[in-house]
Structure 1
Amino acid sequence: MTRKILFLLAILPSVLFAQHTIKGTFTPAEDFKFAFLYRVTAETSLFVANADVTEDGTFEIALDKATIPGTYRLVYAQPQDQFNFDFIVNNKEDIVLQYDVEKGLTFDKSSENKIHSSYNRSMAMVNKSIRNYYGAGKEDKSGYSKIFNILKNTQEEFEKASDGMIANNFIKACSPYIPNELEDVSRFSKNIKSNYFSNIDFGNKTLQDSNFLIKTTIDYVIGFIDRKNPNASYMENVDTVVKAIGDNPKIKGILLEILWNQFSVEGNEVVTNYIGSKYLLDIARANNDNELANSIIFFKNASIGNIGPDFDIEIKEEKDKVKVSKLSKLEGSNNYLLFFWSTTCSHCLDEIPQLKEYIKSKEKEDIQVVAIALDNDLYRWKDMTYEYSEFLHVFGEGKWDNPIGDQYNVTGTPSYFVLDKDKKIIAKPEDINDFKKYFDGLIQTEKTETVSDKKE
């Protein structure tokens, strides 16, 4: 009896800690040094394990028995958001993969990933046939019917073959629109759009814990647009996405924040503020997410067409007296430039002398520069202000934790904001050259309008 117990104890660890592995080969080997594995969730990616890549380009990562099945991400270089790929881990099988910089990702072993990859390739081939049909511009009912029968059969076969697998969730969600009769390209495109979310369940946990819903949503919002009026299309598409998400508040907040960030990075203030004002601000407040709520408010307040947020400015008067005024109270110029900079910013130190020289050629009534230094070194800033005595200077103590920078949604220096005489934001140039080009055009327009007014 004792021997049997000892035998059970001896094999127990191997049963409890039974594991599968992820083995891979990178090509070319010399370009890869490490592999980091993350589990993808709706909110973030969670670190799981890492391995060094050997000289021959191979790596191996062991998975313990507690590994949660789902979508995983392998990061192989920096920055992480650019150099990675996703795949399925069911923790019931070993995975052997190859990643070639030129050829992409392939799987030598893994039923889940093989069937998912095979599905994507098969559907891509059928979709190519559909594009070729419409591209030919010839009506062929028999050929048309044949193509869509293949599409239907392909979808059904893969759904059946993947039954019980994680991959089945993605395959079903990708189920395509199939017309019942011959449709011209315009009608077919409209029906694809109207049926885009028909088979996508935004409440599906497997889809949520992957990049599927994110990619699908972004592709829809930016893919189906009227080129003549893109912003109206973007906003209409966002409304459609919100309706399709339904009663899934968590994923709704995540997807809308991603869309808000996408359009804000691209500088599309119209769509960004639409998403923020109509949907995301209420969600942020309901979740007590003050950081997101402030970002939405600050972005909107600093958008073109809004009055620039007010702040104090110290103005030197005669006999070195200093008067505290406000941006809103400034007078004497038709335009104002808010120039956000820092004494430690190399680009700022390159552009501020150019700005000084450019402003010298302008009349004071044309423009007044207000230079806001987002900084921590008061004495260095003070010394540098003497070189730019024609500017009004503000010390934005705290650098990135400064209320003026926050209110103007400044995320990098230098940053330019052009305001008119009423302190309304009229432009946000990218750099000194963009500012010069914009302002030269603005001055010419203002002079033309002045001459026209005099003639009248």
Structure 2
Amino acid sequence: MIRKLLFLFALLPSMLFAQHTIKGTFTPAEKFKFAFLYRVTAETSLFVANADVAEDGTFEIPLDSNTIPGTYRLVYAQPQDQFNFDFFVNNKEDIVLNFDIEKGLSFDKSSENKLYTSYNRSMALVNKSIRNYYSSGKEDKAGYTKIFTILKNTQDEFEKASEGMIANNFIKACKPYIPSSLEDVSTFSKNIKSNYFSNIDFGNKTLQNSNFLIKTTIDYVIGFIDRNNPDASYMENIDTVVKAIGDNPKIKAILLEILWNQFSVENNEVVANYIGSKYLLNIAKANNNKELANSITLFKNASIGNIGPDFNIEVKDENDKIKVSKLSKLEGSNNYLLFFWSTTCSHCLDEIPQLKEYIKTKKKENIQVVAIALDNDLYRWKDMTYDYPDFLHVFGEGKWDNPIGDQYNVTGTPSYFVLDKDKKIIGKPENIDEFKAYYEALEKANINASKEETKN
């Protein structure tokens, strides 16, 4: 009897707390195997539950009464950051959705998600009418007024219809700029930009616990730029974002780190270092985020225009004896190439022989190669160095956990750093072909500079 009672109590949690469900159908069914549900927070996504996808493409995930209302993310393939979609869970209704690879996401059941989907669709149609108006090049005051009256009414109706819903936070934040009189396209565009954050409350917890603020911020920073001077536009836009965020340090730190990561991954050193130096490094230090502070510092130190971080190099003296010197002490060349490679990197093994043949055609007083192997196999590395006698060789023991690679912020091999005679970083080509093109242009510029000096 006791055993039966224990079994009954073990079943009670699922019987008592299972309240609503998320059901769905994936199309085409054979492309999907699983569905993982996460709750989105400002910092990360928290795992909630998962389900297998049946042969007909259907799945079902039960929700319990303690499910926290908010934005949720369904992951359906790897990598997770690419194959997912977000929706609202209010824990007041069942959700039935369809996801088609070609057609996207739709809802058969869920008043909240259906309303928000309808809002986005309606606003997209009105915005299309605005674009068509400006594209026509014709002035039609009555038509212009009608379009923006529809836009205002649509916004007002959805705000009212969504009262009390999670979606209301997003609909209000998306409230568009509506001109009070006819504006030409240039004025309209400027006013859209200046009013972009007018209705967004960065302190709103519901917005924070979603992808909304991230997407909105990125869209603003990269969307409103002067094509002739993009970096200046990016930096100006970042300043505007920081001002709009206001006194919300937590979300400010998150958004600035995301922006810094985006520009650093794209190797836009000017903008990444602007974000790091002006804002993010101080925030990282204040939050005792040593890893982030270190990453910002290393990225900046390895940027073009800075003196290359120093490290030991074994060189031969005039008596052909090996001695330990430093990068900063090297002399005799106008330029130096730091070539980071590995004995197990296929791209490196393809490019290093090409580099050898190319360098053979150049004078050592013009360029010297310093090959740093980020590796673990000392004997394999040593054996391979004999094939490249004209290079200066450094063994970067530890591979990705090596101080030289870390100092130069090397995240992949091969990596190229071109230095001038003073060891200042002047170029970072992506591959052997880019290096050749870069160096040919550099050599030509150096020759022309020498000719000018001779004339004078």
Query: Contact 2:18/2:62 (CA < 8 Å) preserved in 1?
Result: no
Could you tell me how far 1:451 is from its partner in structure 2?
2.6
Q: How does 1:384-399 map to 2 (within 5 A)?
A: 384-399=384-399
Please say which of residues 209-218 and 397-406 is displaced more in the overlay: 397-406
1:420 maps to: 420
Query: How high is the TM-score relative to the length of structure 2?
Result: 0.96
**In 2, Cα distance between equivalents of 1:441 and 1:75:** 47
Kept in 1, the 8 Å contact 2:339–2:416? The answer is yes
Q: Distance in 2 between matches of 1:21 and 1:344?
A: 49
SS in structure 2 of the partner of residue 19 of structure 1: strand
Question: How do 1:176-325 residues align onto structure 2 when only pairs under 5 Å count?
Answer: 176-317=176-317, 321-325=321-325
Distance 1:440 1:34 in 2: 52
Amino acid at match of 2:156: E
Question: For the residues of structure 2 that align with 1:285 and 1:381, how far apart are their CA atoms?
Answer: 39
1:111, distance to aligned residue in structure 2 (A): 0.9
Aligned mates of 1:387, 1:182 — CA distance in 2: 72
Give 3-state SS (helix, strand or coil) of 2:256's partner: helix
Partners of 2:57 and 2:436 in 1: CA distance: 50
> 1:127 — aligned with what?
127
Partner in structure 2 of residue 333 of structure 1: 333
Structure 1 pair 264–174 and aligned structure 2 pair: CA distance change class (3 A):
same
Stretches (4+) displaced over 4 A: 9-15
Opposite residue 121 of structure 1, the aligned amino acid is R
Paired positions, count: 449
Which ranges of structure 2 fall in alignment gaps of 5 or more residues?
A: 1-8
Secondary structure, aligned partner of 1:416: strand
Identity of aligned residues (%): 84
After TM superposition, the structure 1 stretch with the greater mean CA deviation from structure 2, 412-421 or 12-21, is 12-21
Shift of 1:452: 3.1
Query: Is 1:137 equivalent to 2:133 in the alignment?
Result: no
Preserved contact between residue 429 and residue 438 of structure 2 (Cα < 8 Å) = yes
The 1:309–1:56 alpha-carbon spacing in structure 2 relative to 1, beyond 3 Å, is same
Aligned counterparts of 2:11 and 2:249: Cα–Cα separation in 1: 47
- CA deviations on 1:360-379 (whole Å, 9 max, x unpaired) are 11110111000111112222
Write out per-residue CA displacement over residues 116-173 of structure 1, whole angstroms, 9 at most, x where no aligned residue.
Answer: 1000000000001111111111111111111111111100100110000001010000
Deviation at 1:235, TM superposition (A): 0.6
Give distance in 1, aligned partners of 2:296 and 2:141. 52
Give the CA RMSD over aligned residues: 1.6
Structure 1 residue identity aligned to 2:207: L
CA distance in 2, matches of 1:210, 1:257: 16
Cα separation, 1, equivalents of 2:396 and 2:320: 22
Deviations 1:36-71 (A, max 9, x none): 111111111111111111111111111122211111
Aligned partners of 2:386 and 2:51: how far apart in 1? 55
What is the CA–CA distance in structure 1 between the aligned matches of 2:211 and 2:11, rounded to whole Å?
40
Letter of the aligned partner of 2:23 in structure 1? K
Could you tell me how far apart the structure 2 residues matched to 1:210 and 1:109 are?
Answer: 21
**TM-score, normalisation: structure 1:** 0.96
Q: Which residue of 1 aligns with 2:59?
A: 59
Distance in 2, Cα, partners of 1:338 & 1:282 = 31
Q: Could you say if the C-alpha distance between residues 352 and 142 of structure 1 is closer, same or farther in structure 2, counting changes exceeding 3 Å? A: same
Larger displacement relative to structure 2 (188-197 or 50-59):
50-59
In structure 2, what is the equivalent of residue 155 of structure 1? 155
1:227 Cα deviation after fit: 1.4
What SS class does the counterpart of residue 62 from structure 2 fall into?
A: strand
1:432 aligned onto 2:436 = no
